[in-house]
Amino acid sequence: MREIFIYDHVRTPRGRGKPDGGLHEATPVELVRQLMVALKTRGNLPDDCLDEAVLGTVSAAGEQGATLSRIAPILAGFTDRAAGLHINRACASALEAVSILGAKIGCGMVELAMAGGVESMSRIPMGADGGGPHGIDPRVSSHTPFVMQGVSADLLATLNGYSRADLDAYALASHQRAAAAWANGWFAGAVVPVTDVLGEVLLDRDEHIRADASLEALTALKPAFAELGKSMGFDSLAMQRYPQVDRIEHVHTAATSSGIVDGAGLMLLGSAEVGARLGLRPRARIRSFITVGSEPALMLDGPTPACQRALAAAGLTAADIELWELNEAFAAVPLRLMDTMNIPHERMNVNGGAIAMGHPLGASGVMIAGTLLDEMERRGLGLGMVSLCAAGGMGIAMVLERVN
């Protein structure tokens, strides 16, 4: 199998996923187009060099569906030879897009490609694609009970003994780290300001971060999922699935859950041969990648087995990984991975995460992979792991090795 290289990556800032958010005016395809233009310009890429684009989106409906991944490269100035693929592996979609193209590059089917994702949550809200059978088909949910993610997060916390204080402390650190990263300019190399049709900047920085967050403010918030858990029966379903739990401790709040935002991210991937031909400098190689299934009602514990299998495939142990990046879907998720893999917080999400900056569902995987790579370069580290949990009970993980 050929080596798989990462040549570059970019992302938009994350805008609040509301009509008054900074990116609401920009369509999903426009977010992707601007990132493709940025990669094309930064790499001085020829118009006819791109073989394929794979994009992840969770709510692939309306203007955010169908041919987006096919049309965006053409709008960005590439020729029409680049094929497009639009995928949905829930929150793992963008990193799965990288994995798909990594496999094609490794097998010799693709030379140069772009992988990533987009989610405009202010324009296409969650559930706009209908929700799928797990939540709406009684025959499915009677076999595998559907538990909304917020209650699943509280179940994960309950099973592992994470207190409200544990979650609040983690969330505060996420905001503080993200604010410090922006203040120090550590995202500057990756973030592409988004402009409108007149060229005026719509947004040039993540707008979900609360630099003034305090523990007092976090502890004053009410649990976000207690009422839904009780009134909609999700608590009862969760306890039926996990009878060792006699009650769900509702400990997650809006502040310890990932923010709803708009955003897109892209990564330029290719073989060694195409890089040499086009004069591209490889920044990292992909050592391994894996996607696993986990129990659907709990659904948020997939990162541990995914990381374990990705390490085994790369011939590594957790102690070999110098920096970790995990999507902060809910605060209990990184706490669980740190516990099971014996990861100190000083190596996990060192520049904050989705709790502070937000989680544009289909784009987050490639965004955090890029954040990991940038920080590995800044610190001069060699090995990093990126991982996400995904709705329906899945986990994804990828090992990156920096190229000097």
DSSP per residue, 140-207: HHHHS----HHHHHHHHHHHHT--HHHHHHHHHHHHHHHHHHHHTTTTTTTBPPEE-TTS-EEESS-S
Contact 361, 90 (CB under 8 A): yes
Return the pLDDT at 404. Answer: 83
For residue 273, is pLDDT > 80?
yes
Please give the pLDDT value at position 145.
76
Taking the C-alpha atoms of residue 217 and residue 68, their distance in angstroms, rounded to an integer, is 41
Residue 304 backbone phi and psi in degrees, to 5: -65, -55
Strands 383-390 and 112-120: unpaired
The more confident residue out of 165 and 67 is: 165
Which amino acid belongs to residue 103?
Answer: A
Name the helix (H) or strand (E) containing 120.
Answer: strand 112-120
pLDDT of the residue at 384? 98
Instruction: Look at residue 394 and give its three-state secondary structure.
Output: strand
138 confidence band (pLDDT: 50, 70, 90) = low
Confidence of residue 193 (pLDDT cuts 50, 70, 90): very high
Mean pLDDT in residue range 283-307 = 97
Question: Which one from 91, 134, 250, 307 is the annotated catalytic residue?
Answer: 91
User: Quick one: tokens of 11?
Assistant: 């992302």
- Is 338 in contact with 344 (CB distance < 8 Å)? yes
Rg (CA), the chain: 20
- DSSP strands (E only) in 192-308: 194-195, 201-203, 261-270, 284-293
Structure-block tokens of residue 36: 């493709």
Say what the pLDDT of residue 403 is. 96
**C-alpha closest to that of 178 among 301, 303, 13, 333:** 13
**Taking phi first (over 0 means left), then psi (-120 to 50 degrees means alpha), and beta for anything else, what does residue 131 get?**
left
Q: For residue 227, is pLDDT > 90?
A: yes
- pLDDT value at position 1? 84
Q: Mark whether 389 is an active-site residue.
A: yes
* Residues pairing with 400 in the sheet: 286, 384
pLDDT band at 134 (very low <50, low <70, confident <90, very high): low
pLDDT band with cut points at 50, 70 and 90 for residue 135: low
Contacts for 292 with CB less than 8 Å, ≥ 6 apart: 302, 305, 306, 309, 394, 395, 396
Q: Tell how strand 383-390 and strand 394-402 pair up.
A: antiparallel
How far apart (Å, rounded) are the C-alpha atoms in residues 401 and 287? 7
What's the average model confidence in pLDDT over 274-284? 98
- Residue 146 confidence (pLDDT): 84
pLDDT computed for residue 254 by the predictor: 97
- What is the band of 380 on the pLDDT scale with cuts at 50, 70, 90? very high
252 is known as an active-site residue: no
Between β-strands 261-270 and 15-16, what pairing exists: parallel, antiparallel or unpaired?
Answer: antiparallel
Q: Is residue 388 pLDDT above 70, yes or no?
A: yes
The one catalytic residue in 24, 134, 250, 359 is 359
| Mean pLDDT for the stretch of residues 272-291 | 98
Catalytic position from the list 134, 208, 307, 389: 389
What is the phi/psi pair of residue 388, to 5°? -145, 150
- Phi, psi dihedrals of residue 326, rounded to the nearest 5°: -130, 135
**Model confidence over 67-100: pLDDT tens digits?**
899 999 999 999 999 999 999 999 999 999 999 9
Q: How far apart are the first and last CA of the chain?
A: 21
Beta-bridge partner residues of 261: 16
Known catalytic residue: 91? yes
Model-level pTM? Answer: 0.96
Burial class of residue 380, CB neighbours in 10 A (0-12, 13-18, 19+): exposed
- 142: confidence class by pLDDT, cuts 50, 70, 90: low
Residue range 19-52, pLDDT digits in tens: 999 999 999 999 999 999 999 999 999 999 999 9
Q: List beta partners, residue 386.
A: 325, 398
